[in-house]
Amino acid sequence: MINLKIFSKILDLIFPDKVTCVNCGCEIYSSDKYSLCEECLKTLTIIKGKTCRICGRGISEISSYEKCMECRKNDFYFDGGFSLCVFSGTIKKLLMDFKYNEKNYLYSVFSDLIIDNLNLNDLDIDLITFVPVHFTRKFFRGYNQSELIANDISKKIGINSKKILIRTKITKRLKVLSKEERKNEIEGAFIINNKKNFTRKNILIIDDIYTTGTTLNECSKVLKYNGAEKIYICTLAIRCKD
């Protein structure tokens, strides 16, 4: 039986087409997974093993708890969550390029990583949505990074993606605020786009980075108050606690 990866690399040698790693820029084979070279792929801090059922943060295999310490101290409106990577190294650089350096094509790399490494198909999901950005931020950036990822995941796993929420408030950069300041800043920032889209539906919300869960929790609260059944969250990276 022909090894497809070897066959693909032979074709690359016969019909060369310069392809570069999306992270470091070195030349790679077109067949290399996620458009990353082997070295950069090794440095992805993908969360493996036992994880918190709420946020997706990695927890000790010997822990008797299903939640991490942070989630045990807080109540959330979402019912469960997944996080792909620890926010460091390669994934951090790629996310910063994605958000701030106009590398919007990375959405396909991120959606493939999420689908291959998180058990999204094991969830009873009716709809996929995303954390919205204010229209002024979307105008200047040109896109909403979470929306691009959500729509691509939707196409690849066959679950509809819809814009359910609208962001009505331009908030300060939440990463520089305390937990309490974040909560106050984000409160009332979202309204419903179309309630008929999701009444009694199970919804998966896509976002890029999980820090305290404040933004995702506010989105989940609005959806639950307006008729959603269950809410799950999925983020590309999660900031580890010090």
Cβ neighbours of residue 154 closer than 8 Å, sequence gap 6 or more: 128, 160, 161
Q: Do 109 and 150 fall within a single domain? A: yes
User: Which residues constitute the domain of residue 146?
Assistant: 43-238
Residues 83 and 185 in one domain: yes
27 with 147, same domain: the answer is no
* Residues 92 and 49 grouped into a single domain: yes
CA distance 151 to 237: 18
Same domain (yes/no): 128, 90 = yes
Tens digits of per-residue pLDDT, 30-44?
Answer: 788 899 999 999 999
**Residue 167 CA, distance from chain mean position:** 18
**What's the CATH code of the domain at 47?**
3.40.50.2020
Q: Name residue 237's beta-bridge partners.
A: 85, 209
Are 87 and 204 found together in one domain?
Answer: yes
What are the pLDDT digits (tens) for 158-215? 999 999 999 998 877 776 777 778 888 889 999 998 777 788 999 999 999 999 999 9
Cβ within 8 Å of residue 16, ≥6 positions away: none
* Shared-domain flag, residues 79 and 116: yes
- Residue 1's pLDDT is 52
Q: For residues 60-73, b (16+ Cβ closer than 10 Å) or e, as one string?
A: eeeeeeebbeebee
91 and 25 housed in the same domain: no
154 plus 51 within the same structural domain: yes
**Confidence at residue 15, expressed as pLDDT on a 0 to 100 scale:** 47
pLDDT at 2: 54
In this predicted structure, the answer to whether residue 242 has a pLDDT above a threshold of 50 is no
Taking only the tens place, the pLDDT of each residue in 108-135 is 999 999 999 987 767 889 999 999 999 9
- Provide the domain count of the chain: 2
The set of residues, in sequence order, having a beta carbon less than 8 Å from that of 42 and lying 6+ positions away, is none
> Both 8 and 124 in a single domain?
no
DSSP the chain: ---HHHHHHHHHHHS---EE-TTT--EE-TTSGGG--HHHHHT--B--SSB-TTT--B--TT-S-SS-HHHHS---SS-EEEEEEESSHHHHHHHHHHHHSS-GGGHHHHHHHHHHHS-GGGS--SEEEE----HHHHHHHSS-HHHHHHHHHHHHHT--B---EEE-S----GGGS-HHHHHHHHTT-EEES-GGGTTT--EEEEEEEESSSHHHHHHHHHHHHTT---EEEEEEEEPPP-
Q: Which tokens hold the place of 22? A: 């999306």
* pLDDT tens figures, 83-114: 999 999 999 999 999 999 999 999 999 999 99
> What's residue 199's pLDDT?
87
Query: What is the residue type of 16?
Result: P
Q: Taking Cα atoms as reference points, which of 107, 68, 66, 104 lies closest to residue 86? A: 68
Roughly what angle, to the nearest 10 degrees, separates helices 107-117 and 145-157? 50
Instruction: Tell me: do 138 and 164 sit in the same domain.
Output: yes
Same-domain pairing of 157 and 138: yes
Predicted pLDDT at 78: 97
